[in-house]
Chains A and B, each alone.
Chain A
């Protein structure tokens, strides 16, 4: 028989527990439990009323079964009955059951709350304590609603017992954390602050936790707590170890309270001079005590003492104002770095990380570099080594970068798999940030790839290429180094990528050496080709065509390779297309054209390293300890502005790796001023609308763009709500079905979607809809129909604002509804004579629009030319449609890759080129904008009608900067253009009168012909 401790009479329970313990198998245990459950069920259902003792025993058994991991679906009512028992132990078990197995059954909650209310009013401190514990354990919103008003009163009442005050303080804290809106600040707050002066240290301990949490959100209300906390702390740290009696823990006076007080002080900046002096004394005392010999050998003594010390150091770092204290803290941590306790070494490394970011202690931290490197090599615990890596990263600056990077690299060879990727990112960042000599940088990154190629993410190798391209002084070295590295019999695919790219650009710089002649370079790369994945092979094909330009002597070899069946008939479309196009390009283009088309990449625009963004994403902002970084993070938080999108966001999904390098998917820079609307360009359709109720939901802009050429799909999605669209348009009318899906299991209340049209939009676009049911059940979907009529042309899109209540919180979402002008476009049949006749008729002065404006940014022909490579503009397709699509692709690439606002420029360029093509004149002008080969090639067979049609579509393309959307636009475009017979034009059913870009319109009152905007380059 097991020993039953005194006072516990539930022998039946003990027997049951020991039965369970003696069960030999899981099955036997389940059998025993089911037997017991059946027994309890029958007792609860039986006719004989159970006495309190039995009820308690059975409820306790149920609880035990639940804690073993089995589901319990009855017994709640019996437990609630126990709450109203007058016997302490019965009440206690009842509360325990409720705390562990809360059920959202509303009837039950009412009963529970009633029982709690009675106990709180009982004035019996033990019962009050139980009731408060229960509220603190459950902490539900219902309980907050019922008791948040009552508990502060209990807390500050003069006659409340100390133990009840303690429970009340922490109970209130729990409710505040769960539902801050239900715990309003009031008169009680100032009295709570004075609990810091309470004689009972237990009360002070509990109250300090409460005050700390409240002060974080309401610093003004609680600022008097600072001086009280300092004087309390001062009394504690100067007390003799016996003064505080039972609050002294292994000779350390009130360690828990000290830690909490120091924590509270971290909610505030350094206090006024008077208080500050006292605080500094306290902190010095704590630092001094760390040097004293220990009063006990027990680990508890040192832990408690050091807990206070670390908290004091946190406060010193937080204030970051006393150089003297900072340096002392650093020295203290330095001692801990070599302590025999692993725990202390771990904490010292962690704490030093934050010290490294203070300007006062950065140098002091650096003196410990050897110890930290040693820790990296010798610590047996991976979590400690991880801290060492973090600290090395934090203490790195120009003076020690080479050493630290070298150590991290050598550690990488044996590092745990779990932290490799992070180390790779850190090394890459440090190498770039502190590179004086870029050959060192190139070596480091190539080493990274060699040692941990699998952990080198795309951002890392993109970055090395960007840097090599931007710095001429390192290009030759880079080419030589990758060439050597590639000679290793087995090299990582990432190295092949970097090698392929760099040799394609700069292979000529080492071709003079017979050991790395063009043919050897090519053979070396091609020997890796078949082992690589599709994206890498695609990249290598681009390298080959670049070789054709760089080294005419290997042209035939490369053509043979391109011509082979494994390329031309490759199952992968991307590879096949590249092979076909490159082969054609190499055979039809003159050397001149090749030289232009395949010219060296232009420098990349400087921007924040995408690697840094990735590290931040991976580790959270707190670990990027660079001081400036931290500050910038903070300011970003304050403004609520999202970080600039890292280039990596787009990289993952795009199929063409060479294009990714430019970060085409990166968001275009925001327009600096109001859009130049004077021209009335179609592009204005896509400029941001001015009116919105809630700020537009992040990401909705992307979705909006996706809908320009699409009618169905998901417009918006977050954790709660999904909005789907289905729409159809005919002539000037349209109908849109909006589907609101509740993704949660809880009802949305007061669900009200509203359509908002800006004033000028209202006149041009008629939207009619019926209100939807204000409640949306969990998991349900409701539909709303919007009837749309386009009265006149418009530029902005209506905004859909949705407001509802979810679980008591108010939700407000705004998204732009994708109703754009192009939805109402209509093709129209027209013989070519008719067309030109109409075109010529549009010659009245009112029917012409011309706007001349200065380009905001210089149009660098060199850059433009090079950028054109991106779209692989060597349009070699068989018919003109393909050519046009390629043209558009090219323009799209141009539009999205030019660093400065490209939309308007690209559009103008486009319309201009159309005009040139239409008339077949002014070729020379076009040459200033586009590479020769390109223009001459396109000109040969050109259908003006198609160009005009594309003209209209182009703004759509320029607005859809995402790769995916561009793709779908292309598809859309191809269907549009292929349906155009000769002599067909485009019309918008009298909706569009004055248009841009030479769009021919059917005559109507006030029809206007517009002229192409003329770009005046500032160049």
Chain B
């Protein structure tokens, strides 16, 4: 993971600031940096979103493809995750440098999103036991400036919201052979219900307090962080501790509570923004990657 070198004096400065609820860039402990979201940025995906959080930038593209349902859950579709840590984001990712992080991220994402409580997997089923939609979620890290999990989860939620799956029909001939028929109207498509899709809130333990949306410098001062995925109702669906240091149970509880609070507050404006963008329809001005 991208790291920065922080001197002792800087560390102390950051620690003391956080103790007084004042971070280096002027934020409070539970404040996010400025966030930008744009959906439908990659035209040849079925759904896509680009999120920038401070200087962190991620792009998520979702491709829907027809596959076979998993034998244990024949009436559900599923999601597949792939995180590409390009060397664009940081030189450390060059060669196979980003692979480990990529796997770690995609494993976490898999745990967080690929369950029927987060995404309505049943709606992805076309024909039980035979055909279902598989959503290939490709995450591309464009720039790393800390707090990747949160940025990625928001981008995935936005991309899922934006995803338009072509509507298909199953036709049966007299022999019982099944044929998938595609609607010929490109506007005739299925949308996903993203209401219960959680967002990830990463809390970094810095000194005795914890912060959300840590920058790289703050991260360098932290010993351990807690990843919490929270739905719009405040339900925690997944927690994970990362980092070398240890956390006592009391602070875990505190951090979880903070995460719930922050997460709940995050969903409402996010959905708002997404809906607003959706309403613009064709009038929407595209910003893209050069804006």
- A and B from one assembly? no
Binding site for B on A (CB under 8 A): none
